[in-house]
Amino acid sequence: MSAALKCSWRHAGLLVALLITSCVDSTAPVLDHAPASIEISGSSEVQVGSQVKLTATIKDGLGSAVSRYEVVWSSSNPGVASVTSWGTVYGQSVGSAEISARVDGFPAVVASAQITVIPPPVASVEISPPGGTIAMGGTVQLTAITRDASGNTLTNRAVTWSSSDNTVASVSASGLVRGVSAGSVTITATSEGKSGTASFMIVAGSGSFNIAITALVQSFGWNASDQKWECSYVLTASATGGQAGESATWLPGELEWTLPSGYKATTDVSANWWGDMRIETGQTQSSGRLASWSGQTSGYNLTYRFNWSGPDGSQRLSTVFVGCR
């Protein structure tokens, strides 16, 4: 009797163990890490010429991130915003584009993000011309040149103008300077928090003595034998106004080279630059020059600032640009 009971318990224990094993196996979850969704994160804005990095996160049906799948990136408008195979977006031109991320091999698992490409900010402001002499009642139209950090010219930027002394010279919203009374004045152009200045001397009436300087580039090109760029040009100074026989005396000035990188190198211009220390009203003086430089850049801007003493003894300034490019 005891042996039968002992046998029955053994079989009963085995049956319970089998039932428990069967129960556990039947309720265990089947793990499936197949991609069910994809999300894109990162900046929605990029400047022209800049880049931003987007990140794609793949998740399975349980919402857990999985990383064993490849992501395929694409842009709806590569001319505005292009994207690399690793999700880096480059701003090409102003506008908007849709950047998409798709799980490779799962065409239905895709997400997209709108990217707006904005113009770069103003980094510097230049005024042309940068200074000179204006007769009382006379006007000079100024132009503000806005540039980005790379020196590229920016267009359609708002510019505000101001004068350091409106009793000497006023300036309109469009950059027109009008001489009011004798004296010196600084005109400022401001765009997006960056400013440039131009200095002017306001002299007596329209009949006063004045010197205007012009530049004519005759040739520009690469000198293969000397391995340098050469720019040949002629500067011409014309004295106008004043009384017959009145003259001005040239004073030392400076020549400024404006390099594309933003650096400037200046050299003195001797008083006998023109070959004559004086210039009379009605006269012109010309000087042929040759500028040369080496390096990768093909063009420079040259700015000459000529100081001179007028018939009344006042020191004045004439400026001219030479665009060698």
DSSP track, 84-137: -TTSEEEE-SSEEEEEEEEETTEEEEEEEEEEEEEPPPP-EEEEES-EEEEETT
Give the whole-angstrom CA distance, residue 222 versus residue 296: 11
CA atoms in the 13 A half-sphere facing the CB of 283: 15
Strand 106-118 with 45-47, pairing: parallel
Q: Which two tokens stand for residue 180?
A: 């009011």
Ranges in the chain, pLDDT < 70: 1-32, 136-138, 204-207, 243-246, 258-265, 271-272, 296-298, 312-313
Neighbour-count burial of 27, counting CB atoms closer than 10 A to its CB (0-12 exposed, 13-18 middle, 19+ buried): exposed
Q: What is the β-pairing status of strands 176-179 and 106-118?
A: unpaired
So what's the pLDDT on residue 280?
82
| Cα 185 to Cα 168: distance, rounded to the nearest angstrom | 7
Please classify residue 307 by burial: count the beta carbons closer than 10 Å to its beta carbon, then call 0-12 exposed, 13-18 middle and 19+ buried: middle
What dihedral angle (degrees, nearest 10) is formed by the CA atoms of 217, 223, 229, 233? -20
How much is the pLDDT for 279?
84
The pLDDT score that the predictor gives to residue 204 is 67
Whole-model pTM: value is 0.47
What pLDDT, on the 0 to 100 scale, is given for residue 255? 80
Domains of the chain and CATH, by start: 35-118 (2.60.40.1080), 121-206 (2.60.40.1080), 209-325 (2.60.40.1470)
Q: What are the Cα distances from residue 234, in Å, to 111, 117, 240?
A: 63, 44, 19
Alpha-carbon distance values, 153 to 1, 90, 119, 148 (Å): 108, 20, 12, 7
Q: How far is CA 301 from the centre of its chain?
A: 18
Name the token pair of 44.
């929605």
Query: What confidence tens digit (pLDDT) does each residue in 27-53 have?
Result: 444 445 789 999 999 999 999 989 999
Residue with tokens 């005109």: 187
Instruction: Give strand pairing partners of 124.
Output: 147
